[in-house]
Amino acid sequence: MDRDVRLRTRIRVQALLRQCQSRGVFAAVVVSGDPDAGAVLVKVNTLGNGCWVLSQIRLPDGRPAWMRGTGEQAVTEQEADAYIARQRGYDDDLWVVEVEDRKGWHPLIDEVLL
């Protein structure tokens, strides 16, 4: 049987948090969504040098990837939060994880598109 098996969102979010913790980077779940199938936004806060929000996507070949929903350049925290609020208006099952790192490190291993 050819089936696309995906981890529950809650487990994927826990893995992101542990990756951050293992590097000494603060991360927290800001909003909990559907534990099984909710999408995830990752807000990367560089603590004074701007933020960006990464959104999950699928590439045409089906591989997972991330894109900067707030654009290529960093935005203010208020702009990042406004983007998140708009996305939550479309999808109330959405998870939001905030990562705080001055250098902009994040725990995502899939490709990040600009």
Q: Is 113 or 43 the better-scoring residue by pLDDT?
A: 43
Q: Does the reported pTM lie above 0.85? A: yes
pLDDT at 3 over 70: no
- The whole-number pLDDT of residue 114 equals 63
- pLDDT tens digit sequence for 33-66: 988 988 999 999 999 999 999 998 889 998 888 9
The CA distance from 26 to 9, in Å, is 20
- pLDDT tens digit sequence for 64-91: 889 999 999 999 999 999 999 999 999 9
The identity of residue 16, as a single letter, is L
Write the CATH number of the domain with boundaries 9-100.
3.40.1530.20
Place of tokens 């929903």: 69
Q: How many Cα atoms within 13 Å fall on the side-chain side of residue 91?
A: 17
